Amino acid sequence: MPHALDDTFHALADPTRRAMLLRLSEGEQPIAALAQPFDMSLWGAAKHVRVLEQAGLVKCRKVGRSTLCSLRPGPLAQADQWLRQWERFWSSGLDRLEALVKADKENPR
């Protein structure tokens, strides 16, 4: 069973999909509206939406002939939680680890 973070980070690793998420943060959007800003076929855009949906980042519901998509921030929160594991490495103003490496480089013994 591939970890959920795999799907989440993979979904986020594409600028088209990140832009779609941004638009979704303004509210529910049909797939066609999500596709419109990109020079891309509707089917291509729909496949991106499916990637987001399978990662649990959006939830789609059919309304008439439209498929309305809405943001589902749960996995984003999980991904953020994972990232903050390293907060201590960047939080204290500087890269503490990088500083250590540099110091060791300049004074190797």
Q: Which residues of this chain interact with DNA, rule CB under 7 A? A: 10, 13-14, 16, 30-33, 35, 39-44, 46-48, 51, 64-68
Residue in 49, 54, 55, 48 with CA at minimum distance from that of residue 5:
55
20/17 Cα distance (integer angstroms): 5
What token pair was written down for 37? 């800003």
Asked if 101 is part of the footprint of a copy of itself (rule: CB under 8 A), the reply reads yes
The residues of the shown chain that bind a copy of itself, judged by CB under 8 A, are 2-3, 5-6, 8-10, 12-15, 18, 21-22, 25, 28, 59, 61, 70-74, 76-77, 79-80, 82-87, 89-90, 95, 97-98, 101, 105
